[in-house]
Structure 1
């Protein structure tokens, strides 16, 4: 198999889950206003002591936040000790444009790309049509980026199947294509039942997908907003999770709960990552479940933040 990808700590795909301290990565939205920018940087400074594996910055639907994404990622690279990962999508751009952006990232020291097909300008529910001169799908983008430079590349995975996939099997085929094109790891869409992730992980391994699959976690403080996001993404909300929404001000999946790291400032509870346990957990941010790697604690997760 092409690309025996290294894991989040530089380990092989199996030992990556068992060795070393727990690590988490964070995902930010590029700020739209000066106030949001100040809030973003306050969040970044508060999260920096946690030493996340990386922090990523998203693209808006249709590439609508492209310039803000670029400037935010560059500033993280220049002004913090964090490792930034830039989102790149296939939407509304020719190959030459995307390749030029990737080269610019490489030249300023950004080595990690989150490569996605991307949502069309009309949002998740709108029909997707590849740009006539662009990369058609995420696997094509991964292959193209690898020709530009030796990027570390993360891609998306969907425990409950991508909304536009013909079938779960077809969705796994797409993930396998991204692996074969050069992806280093897969970060999942958020989910609210650990069993959903575990079943998906097992199906992926059975399909020969050996790159690390990192669970995507969405701590939520607004249940109405959660329902809208979940409906758009095809993520189901476990019934047992619903009454816990208000507990500690956030909702996270059972067995994927986190408490603040001892170094985290505690003047107020962080909205940016909502670390408050809804299930038995350890102070190091580990998910406890005897089915994870033969009883070991699951070491990696990716938090979708709210600045």
Structure 2
């Protein structure tokens, strides 16, 4: 199936054999849209790191480009270098480089304090081998002290050697437009790809949004809440809202769309079908 804009899809590492089988079926379904790549999230401090690399290897074995998330919080230079060398040996050419969150109980930040340091380290040790993606926050990182400070850190990541950025999900296209405009004024010329979160479950989405600092607009919250347990109504409304958001982002010149799938194919397929 062809779209007028490139797409990519993000997964998390499955924890069971059944989950692995389901994920491979999801990959197969989404591969119909000829994605630029698939990516897989990464738990800081070893919580899901092995699962990330296994998932990436399984996706690549199916003939698709796949990018592991790599977070550096709590890590040493030697450990990250070992990971990079392993990824190079496997033929991986794309990485999503993140600071990550320090797990509870972990003693210290390790030898990296910011994602910009990780990006610079990857470039220093591997040259141009990897296409490096970094995170962007149109509604600002929840730990940032100010919008100005947030943009400063984003520019540092890009200047350290990142090739492109993927945003936190949002439902306000104006926030994305303003962020991109501010980044361009700050000298960033690389692509900034909007992250898209399909809507299928109100309570889950509200919980995610409260934790990660993404705004769930009041009108969307109230509309979703009004449907109660009517899953069909929630799904249809969510599809319309997210498809319209994607249309607006394409009009604004978004270079691609990156879908947070939660390891499901249908919500993303529904949105892409509406676009198509």
How does the TM-score come out when normalised to structure 2? Answer: 0.83
Q: How does 1:137-286 map to 2 (within 5 A)?
A: 137-149=114-126, 150=128, 151-242=130-221, 243=223, 247=233, 249=235, 276-278=239-241
Residues 70-111 of structure 1: per-residue CA shift (max 9 Å, x gap): 11112212x222110111111232111111111111111100
Q: 1:250 to 1:211 in 2, by over 3 A?
A: farther
Question: Going by fraction, where is helix more abundant, 1 or 2?
Answer: 2
Q: 1:109 to 1:278 in 2, by over 3 A?
A: same
Shift of 1:240: 3.1
- For 2:274, the equivalent position in structure 1 comes to none
- Equivalent of 1:101 in 63, 74, 83: 83
After TM superposition, the structure 1 stretch with the greater mean CA deviation from structure 2, 156-165 or 234-243, is 234-243
Partner SS state of residue 277, structure 1: helix
Matching of residue 300 in structure 1 with residue 260 in structure 2: no
User: Separation in 1 of the partners of 2:243 and 2:69?
Assistant: 33
Q: How does 1:5-154 map to 2 (within 5 A)?
A: 21-77=4-60, 79-122=61-104, 129-131=108-110, 134-149=111-126, 150=128, 151-154=130-133
Partner SS state of residue 39, structure 2: strand
Partner SS state of residue 221, structure 1: coil
User: Separation in 2 of the partners of 1:57 and 1:121?
Assistant: 19
Shift of 1:63: 3.7
Count how many residue pairs are aligned between Structure 1 and Structure 2. Answer: 252
Partner SS state of residue 156, structure 2: helix
Paired residues of 2:72 and 2:98 also in contact (CA < 8 A):
yes
How does the TM-score come out when normalised to structure 1? Answer: 0.75
Q: 1:179 to 1:109 in 2, by over 3 A?
A: same
- For 2:247, the equivalent position in structure 1 comes to 287
Partner SS state of residue 240, structure 2: coil
Q: 1:21 to 1:67 in 2, by over 3 A?
A: same
Q: 1:42 to 1:92 in 2, by over 3 A?
A: same
Q: 1:289 to 1:72 in 2, by over 3 A?
A: closer
User: Separation in 2 of the partners of 1:48 and 1:290?
Assistant: 21
User: Separation in 1 of the partners of 2:250 and 2:133?
Assistant: 27
Gaps spanning 5+ residues in structure 2: where?
264-276
Question: What is the RMSD computed on CA atoms of the aligned residues?
Answer: 2.4
Paired residues of 1:70 and 1:86 also in contact (CA < 8 A):
yes
Paired residues of 1:63 and 1:89 also in contact (CA < 8 A):
no
Residues 250-272 of structure 1: per-residue CA shift (max 9 Å, x gap): 666xxxxxxxxxxxxxxxxxxxx
